[in-house]
Amino acid sequence: MILSEEDSDLIWRAIVAAGAGHSARAAELTAKLTLQNTDLFSVISGVAEFGARAVCALNCDSNVPAPPGGPWTIDHIRPHVTAEAPDPALDFAEQFLAAHCAGDEPVAEGLYVAMRCLGDRHAVRSLAHLMYLVAEATKTAMAHHMAAGGRPA
């Protein structure tokens, strides 16, 4: 299923709210998004796509130097969160985001299936973690563009 323009807009608004620290607004938008969609995989992929776009914009901005070792990847700009205890929802979000941004859809799909086996509560937490990671990655990408004297592509 392909997300509608309205759904993509809801995702972007939720990411912006999460990045600005407005967790209640981000939760409200995410709830609206999930309530009107039966295809959670498309929603989660849509969120991860904004992370992929942030990476692409960095690689396309000639004012932003590439990091040591090659082109920008999501691992260069996403936060590296250390949970006090094992957190399968955070693990899913990190791994799904990396797989999606690398274009590894079979791995992303496998991660999604495994995540869904853990129930709805786990799916909601996984989506929340993914929103946070993408919001922070986008803020970091913007900071690199601005530090290079440019503006986001």
Asked, for residue 47, whether it belongs to a domain, the answer is: yes
- Mean pLDDT (whole number) for 30-56: 88
Examine residue 125 and state whether it is found in any structural domain, yes or no.
Answer: yes
Cα dihedral 74/75/80/81 (nearest 10): 50
Nearest Cα to Cα of residue 14 among 106, 111, 36: 36
Q: Is residue 89 part of a domain?
A: yes
User: What letter represents residue 135's amino acid?
Assistant: A
Domain around 78: 40-147
DSSP element (H, E) containing 22: none
Query: What is the pLDDT of the chain when averaged over all its residues?
Result: 88
Q: What is the pLDDT of residues 86-120, one digit of tens each?
A: 889 999 999 999 999 999 999 999 999 999 999 88
d(CA 104, CA 152): 26
15 within domain boundaries: no
The pLDDT value recorded for residue 1 is: 59
Give me the number of domains the chain comprises. Answer: 1
Q: What is the largest distance, in Å, between two alpha-carbon atoms of the chain?
A: 46
32 inside domain: no
- 126 located within any domain: yes
Query: Is pLDDT at 152 greater than 70 in this prediction?
Result: no
pTM: 0.88
CA distance 58 to 56: 5
Q: Residue 26 falls within a domain, yes or no?
A: no
Q: 58, 64 in Cβ contact below 8 A?
A: yes
Residues in the chain: 153
Do the domain assignments include residue 27?
Answer: no
